Chain A
Amino acid sequence: MSAQAHPESINVKLHLWRQAGPEDPGSFEKVELKDISTHMSFLEMIDVANEQILEGGGVAVCFDHDCREGICGMCSMVINGQVHGPEPGVTTCQLHMRSFADGDEIYVEPFRASGFPIVRDLVVDRSALDKIVMAGGYISVNTGSPQDANSMLVPKDKADLAMDAAACIGCGACVAACPNAAAMLFTGAKVSQLALLPQGQPERASRVLGMVDTMDSLGFGNCTNEYECMAACPKEIDVSNIARMNREYLRSSIGSAEGV
């Protein structure tokens, strides 16, 4: 934030998505909040809203959250049509109320994708992403004593790219922001972080084939290269990871003996 002056507190009109269960049609519940500190995070503001709902005899809105410091990837809200809200490169927990103005109407919805069924209110089931990782997003290393660190050389540029891909916290913002609800930025990052490193080479072909086939089976859409995912990603994962996944998939399926 710049030195631009913000009011210490604001009033907002919150519209929270309420949905009793996966099959419930759901609707918005309006909550008017007074004197919300602009230093609050968005989740703290939801906490205040929940207290107000409870005091009024209502049922608190369910939402996912955990670390509240931008590293766990649990918070999952679409705020005024934008995943993780209007600020680039942050999760909802790192979004502050100073990003909003006095009197703002704020619509809060869950991530919407057939691959992420709604559990209740703002909580969605993102275990599909775990299934993609379980299909090969790891290296099989038997335990033993660590080898000398210098015995396996990693070029600096490759290490940097792998580290950038590994910054993915698996929050699913890419899926939620994608016009097609595709999971290709997530899968691309998980394929890339290992494909770039020497440790990832032994299972390089089987990994990408397994992960992409699993991704395809879970009801996600197909990437149309609109790059909304990259713009919404709190870790700003680059779409070159999707291109790398495409490359890896084609070289593994057509250019290798894997899956013959």
Chain B
Amino acid sequence: MLSWLTRTARSSIGRKAVVALTGLALIGFLVVHLAGNMTFFADSDGATFDAYADTIGNNPLLPLAEIGLVVLFLVHMGLAVRLTLENKKARSKGYMVSKAHGGRTPGSRTMIFTGVIVLLFVILHLAHFRLQKGDDVSMASLVRFELSRPLGAGAYVVGLLALGLHLSHGFQSSLQTLGLNHPKYTPLVKVLGYGLAGLLTVGFLLFPLTIFFGGNS
């Protein structure tokens, strides 16, 4: 009955489309995440940010949203790794001399590596702010504590730069994979992709940088 669906889901284009869709959904999450986090800068004592964190934490639907995010992340990663392994197999013996023709970008070359760095970063991030947070600790003070340490701030800078590089290719690539290529819009999508990657990276970088260098104390 659903053989057409399994055929599509197993095909190269079907799997690529799922990677693209889950990637776009995760970008959507990042935009909301950054917008919410910006409440951190609303006041000096972090009361607005704490109220925001509490609102999310007290929402009964939170576990459902978290499961959804984890599924998105696992599907995106799992398929991307499978596709990458297939791609390696498709050229089992590489060129002795290799020179790009000019299509590849630093972002496109490093997708799997930046992806792994982002995964490690997300694990660290969850360990910091999701798993270790007790009810009596203010989220704002926890953020300040973790990001004022050199190791903490350094890890966030590395993780966020990897995320930016990943998105510099990921956004435009996902639209092409979904077949959204148009002579009028594709050049704009490219600019938008770089803009979005830059904006999200700089936006999130504000946290480790301002906290570590003491601008927000």
Q: Which residues of A contact B (CB under 8 A)?
A: 17, 28, 78, 80-83, 88, 107, 109, 112-115, 177, 179-182, 184, 212-213, 215-216, 219-232, 239-240, 242-250, 253-254, 259-260
Contacts and interface: CB of A to CB of B under 8 A. Distances in A.
Nearest to B16: A222
B24 to A, nearest CB: 14
A249 B13 CA distance: 7
Interface string B160-171: 000000000100
Given A112-B93, A112-B94, A230-B103, A244 B7 contact: no
Interface stretch (B65-73, B133-141, B174-182, B194-202): B174-182
Interface of B: 3-4, 7-8, 11-17, 83, 86-87, 89-105, 108-109, 111, 169, 172-173, 176-181, 183, 186
Contacts of A17: 96
A234 B198 CA distance: 35
A245 B91 contact: no
A250 B13 contact: yes
Contacts of A113: 90-91
B90 A181 contact: yes
B12 A225 contact: no
Interface of chain A: mostly helix, strand, loop or mixed: mixed
A218 to B, nearest CB: 10
A109 B95 contact: yes
A226 B14 CA distance: 18
Given A28-B96, A107-B96, A225-B173, A114 B11 contact: no
A180 B12 contact: no
A109 B186 CA distance: 35
A182 B87 CA distance: 8
Contact of B14 (A78, A229, A253): A253
A224 B108 contact: yes
Question: Top 10 A-B pairs ranked by shortest CB distance?
Answer: A247-B179, A243-B181, A221-B90, A81-B99, A231-B101, A227-B103, A180-B87, A221-B87, A181-B90, A246-B179
Nearest to A254: B8
A115 B101 contact: no
21 contacts: A81-B95, A81-B97, A82-B101, A88-B101, A114-B90, A177-B101, A181-B90, A213-B11, A220-B90, A221-B86, A221-B91, A225-B169, A225-B173, A225-B177, A227-B103, A228-B101, A228-B102, A240-B183, A240-B186, A246-B17, A259-B4
